[in-house]
Amino acid sequence: MHIPKKKIKISKSEPINIFFYYLKTKHSFHLVDPSPWPLVASLGALMLATGGVLYMHKIEDGYNLFLTGFSVILYVMFTWWRDIIREATFEGQHSFTVQRGLRLGMILFIVSEIMFFFAFFWAFFSFEFVTRF
């Protein structure tokens, strides 16, 4: 029995690679590419914190390390947000499902912060006003 092979439709703008045609996504979610920005941001935060501690202990180059860490953090913020904006607008990778997920994630984050501060101040005021020693 002869099984006919499927014909693969490849546009002329895409490179022809018939071995990986099955990897095209068939869902509306955005799978992010590997990014160097989390590692660079953590190194900048380390430099920022170490420089701040060295500066407070009056060690000579602490202020320079603090400023370097601060500038690295600002650079990472600019470039990481630039990449996210590029993914959303020019590449069109943020579908309606992704936008809804981002919106829901931000709402849940804000609600969790409100609940944390409510619990923190509840514990503080109950300890301050209802102490029994």
Do 54 and 75 share a domain, yes or no? yes
Do 103 and 81 share a domain, yes or no? no
Do 74 and 111 share a domain, yes or no? no
69 C-beta neighbours (distance < 10 Å), count: 20
Do 57 and 84 share a domain, yes or no? yes
Residue 31's pLDDT is 77
**DSSP structure class, residue 91:** S
Residue 90's pLDDT is 86
Domain hosting residue 87, numbered range: 35-91
Determine the Cα angle at 104 with ends 102 and 110, to 5°: 105
Whole-angstrom Cα distance, residue 38 to residue 43? 9
Q: Would residue 3 count as lying in a domain?
A: no
Provide the CATH number for the domain around residue 63.
1.10.287.70
**Helices 62-89 and 37-56: angle between axes, nearest 10 degrees:** 160
Q: Would residue 53 count as lying in a domain?
A: yes
Task: For the chain of 133 residues, list the mean pLDDT of each consecutive stretch of 10.
Answer: 56 56 68 89 97 95 96 97 90 87 96 97 88 65
Q: Can you point out the beta strands (E) in 1-104?
A: none
Q: Which amino acid is located at 118 in the chain?
A: F
Q: Would residue 50 count as lying in a domain?
A: yes
Number of domains in the chain: 2
Q: What pTM was estimated for this model as a whole?
A: 0.64
Residue 48's pLDDT is 97
Q: Which residue shows structure tokens 């992704």?
A: 98
Q: Would residue 87 count as lying in a domain?
A: yes
Do 69 and 110 share a domain, yes or no? no
Do 79 and 39 share a domain, yes or no? yes
Do 72 and 100 share a domain, yes or no? no
Whole-angstrom Cα distance, residue 67 to residue 52? 9
Q: Would residue 127 count as lying in a domain?
A: no
Q: Would residue 62 count as lying in a domain?
A: yes
Residue 4's pLDDT is 57
Q: Which residue shows structure tokens 């989390």?
A: 38
Q: Would residue 4 count as lying in a domain?
A: no
